[in-house]
A and B are shown apart, each in its own frame.
Chain A
Amino acid sequence: EAQVTQNPRYLITVTGKKLTVTCSQNMNHEYMSWYRQDPGLGLRQIYYSMNVEVTDKGDVPEGYKVSRKEKRNFPLILESPSPNQTSLYFCASSPRTPPSQYFGPGTRLTVL
């Protein structure tokens, strides 16, 4: 089944404790991206990647890191999480540009 998977789906952590949210797609898509969704703000793009080893900042990249070492994986790294990063995070992938994306199920992150 074609899909985008994210892990974990739910995470509660404390300020400053490094964490990684994994994202994987099995559709051989070139384009992948991360978003955060907050009430009243819609979705905001954090980082995106046009292909392996190519990443670009989105609208809200501060406090996040990404890497794209393999085509299928695009992990989101929070080196030192803070409470303002509490949010619902979505990973997405797309087969071509312009990107019309397939979204993962979301990861709800709470930083205490």
Chain B
Amino acid sequence: AQSVTQLGSHVSVSEGALVLLRCNYSSSVPPYLFWYVQYPNQGLQLLLKYTSAATLVKGINGFEAEFKKSETSFHLTKPSAHMSDAAEYFCAVTADSGAGSYQLTFGKGTKLSVIP
């Protein structure tokens, strides 16, 4: 079984400030981890993914995330927030549940507001 917990359903930051969105996961086998972004009235777009290579993963729009196995975390960061970053962010986990089958589990999402 696998699960994802996103800490904070709403996060507000000032424009230019550090963005930190927290994600903790649970998985009985080595996981693959993802961050997605959803802008209002749109579908989800992949920001970045961890697939057992480098633990520090760089994504689009200046975001990055670090896989920390000891902390079972995959927090998303961006050094300087832009107004255009205002959106909802979802962390997701998947793992091989047997016979090459991959169920994907999402967190409940964190809505990011950027204050001018």
Contacts and interface: CB of A to CB of B under 8 A. Distances in A.
A42 B104 contact: no
A88 to B, nearest CB: 10
Given A90-B43, A105-B43, A40 B100 contact: no
A101 B92 CA distance: 11
A53 to B, nearest CB: 14
A40 B105 CA distance: 15
Interface in A16-58: 31, 33, 35, 40-45, 48, 50, 56, 58
B10 to A, nearest CB: 11
Interface residues of A, number: 26
Contacts of B104: 33, 45, 48, 58, 99, 101
Interface bracket on B? 20 to 34
Interface of B: prevailing SS: strand
Interface in B17-38: 32, 34
B67 interface: no
Interface of B: 6, 9, 32, 34, 42-46, 49, 51, 90, 92, 94-96, 100-109
Given A90-B43, A97-B100, 16 more contacts: A31-B102, A42-B106, A42-B109, A48-B103, A50-B101, A56-B103, A97-B102, A98-B51, A98-B94, A98-B95, A99-B102, A100-B49, A101-B104, A104-B43, A105-B42, A105-B43
Interface of A: 31, 33, 35, 40-45, 48, 50, 56, 58-59, 90, 92, 97-106
